[in-house]
A and B are shown apart, each in its own frame.
Chain A
């Protein structure tokens, strides 16, 4: 069936280094790809999203790239800081989008001091 694959499930990086999380999707008709950050005890919060008419979008230390041909998109965080430690989810609207977003399984990002 339609799904979103996310890797890695856990990522540990030194403070100041970059972190990259990758996702692939199955529905070639998908055209909206958000990323959510979930901190402990809170619900997921949208941090950046990209639509299929662009290949890259940046917001300060966060960027997302999209390759529609290969059906994959990635989250890039530069100059990581302790407050970046959280669980990150990619998502896509699959199968026409009538039933909302389909999420990847999440990446637990750990920033080592």
Chain B
């Protein structure tokens, strides 16, 4: 079982609110990722990080932002939530010492914006 944790598991919030989804890993992994998973199951990369102070945008454009101040922590923030942000958000990490290192996923945060 991978040691990567996401909180909260479920979040229902009103339009216009600012939210932060938390992701922490205890494996000392350098690389971390955020994926958005739509109801049709497909996974879309929205942000990733190579290490502390590194953040990059993924394939899918997202209004969210991320920060990486500590190796173990990679929070995702939405300044003003909208119904279109309703989705499942999955955090993952990998050890960058191997180019082909497997991803370890958290159990996700299911966000509903009303």
CB 8 Å contact bits of A29-57 with B (1 = contact, 0 = none): 00110101010011111100101000000
Q: How large is the interface on B (under 10, 10 to 19, 20 to 34, 35 or more residues)?
A: 20 to 34
Please determine whether B59 and A99 come into contact, CB atoms closer than 8 angstroms. yes
Any A CB within 8 A of the CB of B66: no
Please determine whether B103 and A101 come into contact, CB atoms closer than 8 angstroms. yes
How many contacts between A and B, using CB within 8 angstroms?
A: 61
Q: How large is the interface on A (under 10, 10 to 19, 20 to 34, 35 or more residues)?
A: 20 to 34
Please determine whether B33 and A45 come into contact, CB atoms closer than 8 angstroms. no
Please determine whether A42 and B103 come into contact, CB atoms closer than 8 angstroms. no
Per DSSP, are chain B's interface residues mostly helix, strand or loop, or mixed? loop
Please determine whether B33 and A100 come into contact, CB atoms closer than 8 angstroms. yes
The 4 closest A-B pairs by CB, nearest first: A43-B105, A32-B100, A106-B41, A103-B43
Nearest chain B residue, comparing its CB with the CB of A49: B102
